[in-house]
Chains A and B, each alone.
Chain A
C-alpha cells in the first residue's frame, strides 16, 4: 500500500468516531514509526483542522514522535515502586548493554509494582528483573 493509501485507510477506519484524532495518531505512529510534519498536514486536511491544532496534540503526548527511530525499544519503568525495588542500580548496566543499538526509554509504571523492576518490549512485559535479566533483555531486543 502506498503512503497515501495507508493514510486514507487509517482515516476512513476512524472517520465515523466522535473525536477521532488520537486513534488516528496511534495508527499513523504504528504504521510509519512517527507522526512527522507531512503526516500532520495530511491529517489536518482530512479532519478539517489547522496544522497547528494537530501539531499541538502530537507534541503533547509521549507516545507520538516527530521522527522515526528504527532501533528496537526497551521501556524501563523507573517510577517509585520500581525505585523501591532497586531499578536505579540497574540503569547503568542497561545503558551500557543498550549502547547506540537499542533505545532504552524511561517510562513511569506498567502496573507491575509488586514485582519490579519491570520493563516492556513491544506488547510483552517482564518483571522481577535483576541486572543479568535486564541486560539479557536489552541484548535480545
Chain B
C-alpha cells in the first residue's frame, strides 16, 4: 500500500491539507501525518517515497498516484530551498511524526538529556556557554550566563519557563517547532531544569495557536516519564501581545494582569512566584539538546559570525514568493534571503521595504539589504533581528500608513504601566495623522492660558510636527519599561527616514 506523508502543521491545514488527506485515504493510501518541511508555498506538500508534490489539491490526487503530476518537485531533501539550509534546530522538520516517541528516539532524541544528566550542572552550563547560544526570543542574551545566575541563586523552588507567546507578525518558527517537534522543546527544558535545579516548568503558549496547544498538551503527557522529576504545565495566554515580554508573562502565569515588571530584580533571581526562574524562548530551549550531544557545543560555535553563533531559524513572510522557514548560520544577507532564496515578491512587483524582527523591528530599504544577519550588525544599522521574522513589502506599500500602524498597535497592546508607551503611542497616532493630512494644530484653550509659557501660540508647522514626532519617539525609546514602547519608534522612525514622501 502506498504510504503518503502529509504535514499536519496548522499552515498546511489552513491551505487545505485535510481535504487532500481525505482524498488519498479514499484512494486507498496509508497516511502518515508528519511535521512541515517549512516550504510554505508548496503546502499542502505530499510526500511519497521521498518525492514531493505541491501545492496539492484534491484534483491532483489521481495524477500524483499515477506518476503524471506536474506538481512534482523531485526529492524533497535535495530541493534547493532545503538542501542549502543548515538545519540544527529544525533537523527533524518534515521527517518525523510530531508525537511519535519512536521517531524521536530514532533521530537522536533524548541523547542530549542523557548526556546532560551524566554531567555536573556547572559542566553542563559551561558547555552551553561555550556553544555561544544566545536567547532567540529577541534580546540575544547569552543562555549559559542566564542559567548560571539561576543555578547560583538560592531558592527553595526554582522554575523553567518557556516563552511561547510568539506574537510578532512575520514569525512562526516557535509555532512550527511546537507543532512539529514538541519533544525537542521539552528535552531542552529538562536539560535546563537539570542545570539549574528547577523542578517545575511552564510553557506559556498564546491562545492564537490552538494546534500548538493541542500538540504540546499531548506531548507533555507522553514525555513525562523521560523528564521526571521535572513536571511541565501548559499555560494558555489570553490575547495580550505584551505577555511575550518575560516579566509580563510571569505575571500572567501567576494569574495577574500581564503588566510589565520593572527590572531589577531579574527573573533569574526573582521570577515566577518570586523564585529564581529560567525564562527562555522556544527556539533557545529547542537548540539545547543538540548542543549537549558529544561535540555539539563546538559544532554549534563553529557556525555563524563574530558574537552571533550557531544557526538562526529565519522566517520568510509577507509578500514573498517562496515563504517559509529557512534555518541557516548567522551572516547571510537580506538580499540573498529575499531574492535568491525567497524568489522576490509574491506579487511580482519590486521590493519596497522589509521589516525584520516583528512589529517592533525597523523597516529596511533595498539599499541596506547587504548587511549581514548578525545581532551587532543590525544594532549598528538601528535595526534588530528580534525573533528572526522577515516581512517583505512590495512597492504598493504605504510606509506612512505602516508607521501609523506601529503606533496604533502599540496603543492597542500597551499594558498601561508606563506613560511613554501608554500615552505616547496614542499621541503618536494623532501626530502621524496630522502630518499625513497636512493639517496643523492650532493652539487650543489650554495652550492659550497665561501659565502655559512654553506652549506655542501659533499653529504648528509641518517641520515642527516632524520634530515633535522625533522627540516623542526619543521619549518612548528611552523612557519605556519594556521593548513594546521602547522599540515601537524603530518602525516609525525608519519609515520616516527612508520614505519621507509617504508622510505627505
Most chain-B CB neighbours within 10 Å: which of A61, A80, A114, A123?
A114
- Which A residue's beta carbon lies closest to that of B175? A111
For residue A108, CB closer than 8 A to chain B, the reply is yes
Interface string of B146-189 (1 = CB under 8 A from A): 00000000000000000000111111101100000000000000
B237 proximity list for chain A (CB < 8 A): 61, 63
Inter-subunit contact A23/B235 (CB<8 Å): yes
Interface residues of A in 1-48 (CB under 8 A from B): 17-23, 25-26
Q: Which of A60, A63, A115 contacts B14 (CB 8 A)?
A: A115
User: Which B residues are in CB contact (< 8 Å) with A123?
Assistant: 210-211
A61:B11 contact, CB within 8 angstroms: no
A80 to chain B, nearest CB (A): 4
The 0/1 profile, CB within 8 Å of B marked 1, for residues 75-118 of chain A is 00001111111000000000000000000000111111111101
- Which chain A residue has the least Cβ–Cβ distance from B355? A80
B window 377-397: CB within 8 A of A: 389, 391-394, 397
A127, B319: Cβ atoms closer than 8 Å: no
Within 8 Å CB of B346, what residues of A? 85
Interface size on B, residues (CB 8 A): 61
Beta-carbon contacts of B342-370 to A below 8 Å, as 1s and 0s? 00001000000001000100000000000
- Please tell me if B323 contacts chain A, counting CB pairs below 8 Å: yes
In the complex, A125 has a CB within 8 A of chain B: yes
Residues of B within 8 A of A113 (CB): 169-172, 315, 317-318, 323, 389, 391
How far does the alpha carbon of A64 sit from the alpha carbon of B391 in the complex, in Å?
A: 30
Complex contacts, A22 vs chain B, CB 8 Å:
235-236, 238, 252-253, 255
Out of A18, A23, A26, A108, which one reaches B169, CB within 8 Å?
A: A108
Q: What is the CA–CA distance of A18 and B256 in the complex, to the nearest angstrom?
A: 12
Q: Is B254 engaged at the interface, CB distance under 8 Å to the other chain?
A: yes
Interface status of A128 (Cβ within 8 A of chain B)? yes
Which residues of A sit under 8 angstroms from B174, Cβ to Cβ?
A: 111
Whether A127 pairs with B15 at a CB distance below 8 angstroms is yes
Tell me if B319 and A61 are in contact (CB < 8 A).
Answer: no
Residue of A20, A23, A81 near B391 (CB, 8 A) is: A81
B197 contacts the other chain (CB 8 A) = no
Tell me the B11-65 residues at the A interface (CB within 8 Å): 11, 13-15, 40-41, 43
Complexed CA–CA distance, A83 and B392 (Å) = 10
Contact, CB under 8 Å: A18 / B273: yes
Nearest B residue (CB) for A109: B169
CA distance A38 to B30 in the complex (A): 52
Inter-subunit contact A115/B11 (CB<8 Å): yes
Residues of A contacting B415 with CB < 8 Å?
60
A79 and B240 contact, Cβ closer than 8 Å, known pairs A17-B233, A115-B43: no
Binding site for A on B (CB under 8 A): 10-11, 13-15, 40-41, 43, 166-172, 174-175, 207-211, 233, 235-241, 252-259, 273, 315-320, 323-324, 346, 355, 359, 389, 391-394, 397, 402, 405, 409, 413, 415
The 9 closest A-B pairs by CB, nearest first: A114-B323, A21-B255, A62-B239, A79-B169, A61-B238, A113-B317, A84-B318, A127-B14, A63-B238
